[in-house]
Amino acid sequence: MTTGSILSVRGLNIQFGSRSVIQNLSFDVDTGDNVAIIGPNGAGKTVLLKALLGLLPYEGEIRWSPGARLGYVPQKVAADRQMPIRVHDLLAAKARVLKLHSRSIETVAAAVDLTPEVLTASIGTISSGQFQKALIAFALLGEPNVLLFDEPTASLDELAEEKIYDLVERLQQEKHLTVVLVSHDLSIVYRAANKVLCLSKDMVCFGPPREVLTPAALEAMYSAPSKYYLHRRGLEPMQSDKVAEHD
């Protein structure tokens, strides 16, 4: 395993017209890190992720190490689910574009436990949880060593959400992945992330969760009294462990 920096961001600026979304952002990600990006709506979390993927124009420097292969799981796919596309069609399409062996489809399907029934089902007929798994399988094609997730469980109920996060953790361990994850869910951040990047209009912080996520910092970031209560695994959740999404 190589270690050391896999991503270096320096002086990143992103603008939409006259509106500045990200200003002078710098941080480093090391191989094997699990970085959580948090912040209120409109703070530019998704925008940052897309810039990291090279999907948006930006100023400043985003430098991936030469061996980095990126896999991306978007927040939502606006696709018309009525299209006659089966899950397998999608995976096969990406495999063909990347000129991968067709066996790689079975490999990624097995990695996320996609059953043959789901593979041959139309994308319009599978559940949100299965759909999310299919998107992760899609991202895994091409054997990425970095996975970028944009709120992978935004549309799921808690049980399905738990399964997806378990899956992500398992994949990270099995495949020695670096993970960059946008999340609203602070309990996930505590559980899985070793670094947190918080984005908001007024402040930016970066570091290990327990150092960065102080109640004062959360309050400042979300500009509202924190609804978050830290609980450890195994304890009953006392209250909603999600930060209010509507600010």
Please provide residue 165's backbone torsions phi and psi, each rounded to the nearest 5 degrees: -70, -35
Q: What does the per-residue mask of binding to another protein show for 90-119, with x meaning CB under 8 A?
A: x-xxx-xxx---------------------
Cα–Cα distance measured from residue 9 to residue 28, given in angstroms and rounded to the nearest whole number: 6
Name which of 126 and 188 has its Cβ closer to another protein. Answer: 126
Exposed e or buried b per residue across 201-239, where buried means at least 16 C-beta atoms within 10 angstroms of its C-beta: eeebbbeebeebbeeebbebbbeeebebeeeeeeeeeee
When the beta carbons of 90 and 189 are compared against another protein, the nearer one is 90
Element (H, E) at 10: strand 5-16
Helix axes 128-140, 103-111, angle to 10 degrees: 130
Q: Which stretch binds another protein (CB under 8 A): 5-13, 82-90, 156-164, 182-190?
A: 82-90
The window from 1-9, 81-89, 213-221, 224-232 that contacts another protein (CB under 8 A) reads: 81-89
Question: Interface mask (CB under 8 A) for another protein, residues 36-75, using x and -?
Answer: --------------x--xxx--------------x-x-x-
Report the residue from 68, 85, 192, 244 that binds another protein according to the rule CB under 8 A.
Answer: 85
Measured CA to CA, the distance from residue 55 to residue 37 in angstroms comes to 18
Angle of CA points 217, 183, 40, to nearest 5°:
50
What is each CA distance from 85 to 106, 133, 174, in whole angstroms?
18, 16, 30
> Between residues 12 and 95, which has the closer beta carbon with respect to another protein?
95
Binding-site string for another protein from residue 125 to residue 164, where x marks contact by CB under 8 A and - marks none: -------------x--------------------------
The residue ranges that bind another protein (CB under 8 A) are 50, 53-55, 70, 72, 74, 77-80, 83-86, 89-90, 92-94, 96-98, 122-123, 138
